[in-house]
Chains A and B, each alone.
Chain A
């Protein structure tokens, strides 16, 4: 019995490879399209850190000090003072039109007031609509401004009361802070987003490939004939070649990110591979289930799109999952990629142990359910088929 099954499996397995070779889009999805997308992602963020973000200035003071202050802002690598405006109105117009990401307004009498000890207020309007850029500009300006005002303070203190530089400095800056970005030490935005976007695309590819692959061998209404009395064997032989190819692609993007690009990977490749395998099986289950419910590629594809397209928003990488409402958390947990990305971050960034990774692995394992559902569906279809044959 087992021997016969082995033979059956072998022939189905070979047939599947033949099918892949003959299908342009399956080949595209399995071999060249995803790598092309991954590379495009990396290319978008290849600058890694935002630099020379355009910022405009309205210098109403036009003093030596105000010019020096603007030079201080400009010296920061993140921002570049690109334009000077004569009045606030024209600066605001440029900000509204997206020509600049922030507008700095230096008030009249900046120099005088500073010297007299009545602190003037410089105002910087940032474009909160582009939130990330606004945050980057904000911290760049704060930093530049902090250095400048500490310099002014230091100078005043040395002139007035504390001729010793150390004391004068302490008076200017009584408490200092040293900021350490843990696990992504150069605050590389490319690294941060690309490592999350690639798995999101990968999830789409796995789910969709399962739909297309099943569609390729099951023509309308012929599921029974295809199953041929061996539902479990047939479906396993069908999906297994793809499992292996997806895993190869998973390994390939890991090597691309953590070896070729040299982004730090501190953890265990073995745990990561186990996670990838579980992720693939869960996604294949979703794709297979969707196809078997509808037995129609474009219907299943519409739902697969609906399921995978918003995944990135729910992954919790850009917006912390702990701040999501319950409904969002439930939906998030139903997406294999949210757990996989967590696992990937834990391995690459913190080298978590197997024990620490159990929750994520457990979730990925629990998401086998769609695959089980797919198997139940084929078994039921097959049973119904046998009944029909008997009746005939």
Chain B
């Protein structure tokens, strides 16, 4: 059979299988919009907060206003008791509580350093950290003002006093995702995982389907040597996914305003072993699992585990070593890590060599396994 005819047959096989075509085209396009959707506001802002002001002084009201002015917090209500505030948290009307103790102003004047109560709903970590950040900011600013005032009262000049509210300062600057936006955080990694999972499903389903199709004796996939089948499969799926990668890392990243630090050459250098290793693993799974729907089920069930153990959500040093080792057998783990480093953090290509070589190792390993399994199939048939 001519090469061109083979490619045409392979491409037609992809298009005529609804689940394969839907997984590839529907998956890539629909997920490119659906996944970033919940995070499109990037940063949680204006988290509703309730205030219990037991002091009622001018200064405490100033603190309330300062809190309301922070971008993190919006003061929605003032109540008299902590119990009332708690009820508001339970009903979801508020995510945080600020308690200003009685005699706050007096204690401040007397130099007794009064204690403010910051509470947040830690059932939702992001809400919690946002409200606490806002409260600490407002209280910190007020505290600095008081210190400056004290310095002036004890005879310092204003410019000097202004500098001295803290003996040494700490400036924490997030880099690579300087706005700490959620889209920039989740999307680069998840897009790699989407490409991985849909490609794995599509290749696997097609292979599995063809393998157990009733018309198998007529199939083009049985009439050609295994190496030709593998080349056709790799080039056809690889071609489609190269376009997919172009769409994700090019258009979609541009659309969502996500950092792209890697040079096109470096990026392609990484995309190639990534796609190759996934296709090889897909063929292997297609040979091992007889039912296409079971294959997609297993891929589906693995998604969350692969995402959570890839190191971008939970530090790798805290993931049990056994799981780190196991998930490194799957291309998504080194792929997510190396794409993030190269494209998001601007690492040098030499720094991703461990992950990069692992992807090539997987390509060779799964490629060999695929060849062996296909070969065994032919022997069994004979």
A interface vs B, CB < 8 Å? 25, 29, 33, 37, 40-41, 43-47, 50-54, 69, 93, 95-98, 101, 110, 113-114, 117-135, 138-139, 141-142, 145, 148-149, 152-153, 156, 161, 166-167, 169-171, 173-185, 187, 189, 192-193, 197, 200-201, 204-205, 208, 211-212, 215, 296-299, 301-303, 305-306, 308-310, 312-314, 316-325, 327-328, 331-332, 345-346, 349-350, 352, 356
Contacts and interface: CB of A to CB of B under 8 A. Distances in A.
Nearest to A110: B168
A54 B316 CA distance: 10
Contact of A178 (B22, B30, B118, B320): B118
Interface of A is mostly: helix
Interface in B158-184: 160, 163-164, 166-180, 182, 184
Contacts of B178: 128
Nearest to B23: A302
A207 to B, nearest CB: 10
Interface string B1-29: 00000000000000000110011001100
10 contacts: A117-B163, A125-B174, A126-B175, A127-B175, A128-B174, A149-B166, A181-B120, A197-B308, A310-B34, A324-B37
Interface string B299-325: 111011100110111110111100100
Contacts of B351: 93, 96-98
B3 to A, nearest CB: 29
Please list the 6 inter-chain residue pairs (A to B) with the smallest Cβ-Cβ separation, ordered nearest first. Answer: A128-B174, A128-B177, A181-B122, A97-B351, A170-B111, A184-B122
B314 A33 contact: no
B125 interface: yes
Contact of B38 (A148, A177, A185, A314): A314
B45 interface: yes
A130 B315 contact: yes
B69 interface: no
Contact of B169 (A96, A121, A299): A121
Contacts, number: 348
B288 interface: no
A177 B135 contact: yes
A96 B347 contact: yes
B318 A43 contact: no
A51 B121 CA distance: 22
B168 A93 contact: no
Contacts of A118: 163
B147 A309 contact: no
Given A129-B177, A345-B123, A173 B113 contact: yes
A125 B175 contact: yes
Interface string B134-172: 011001001100110010001000001001101111111
Contact of B143 (A101, A175, A189, A310): A175
B119 A180 contact: yes
Nearest to B155: A161
Nearest to B42: A323
B292 interface: yes
Chain B contact patch, size range: 35 or more
A134 B337 CA distance: 16
A184 B122 CA distance: 5
A234 to B, nearest CB: 22
Contact of B296 (A125, A152, A181, A302): A302
B173 A313 contact: no
A301 B295 CA distance: 10
Contacts of B209: 298
B348 interface: yes
Interface of B: 18-19, 22-23, 26-27, 30-31, 34-35, 37-41, 44-45, 47, 86, 89-91, 95, 97, 108, 111-129, 132, 135-136, 139, 142-143, 146-147, 150, 154, 160, 163-164, 166-180, 182, 184-186, 188, 190, 197, 201, 205, 209, 291-294, 296-297, 299-301, 303-305, 308-309, 311-315, 317-320, 323, 337, 340-341, 344-348, 351-352
| Most chain B beta-carbon contacts within 10 A, residue among A98, A327, A345, A356 | A98
A185 to B, nearest CB: 7
Given A50-B314, A306-B27, A119 B118 contact: no
Contact of B113 (A29, A175, A193): A175
A124 B142 contact: no
B136 to A, nearest CB: 6
A105 B205 CA distance: 52
A319 to B, nearest CB: 6
A81 B37 CA distance: 37
Given A96-B351, A128-B175, A175 B142 contact: yes
Contacts of A153: 166-167
Residue from A124, A212, A350 having most chain B Cβ neighbours under 10 A: A350
Contacts of A50: 314-315, 318
Contacts of A176: 113-116
Q: Which of B18, B174, B303, B348 has the most CB of A within 10 A?
A: B174
Nearest to B89: A182
Nearest to A294: B18
Contacts of A110: 168
A272 B39 CA distance: 29
Nearest to A187: B122
A135 B176 CA distance: 14
Contacts of A356: 90-91
A180 B117 contact: yes
B125 A98 contact: no
A37 B180 contact: no
A90 to B, nearest CB: 12
B163 A323 contact: no
Contacts of A312: 304
Nearest to B326: A40
B116 A320 contact: no
Nearest to A151: B167
A119 to B, nearest CB: 5
Nearest to B303: A309
Given A119-B166, A182-B122, A97 B292 contact: no
A122 to B, nearest CB: 5
Given A177-B115, A180-B118, A328-B38, A189 B170 contact: no
Contact of B317 (A53, A69, A325, A332): A53
Given A98-B347, A182-B121, A328-B40, A318 B126 contact: yes
A47 B316 CA distance: 11
A316 B309 CA distance: 20
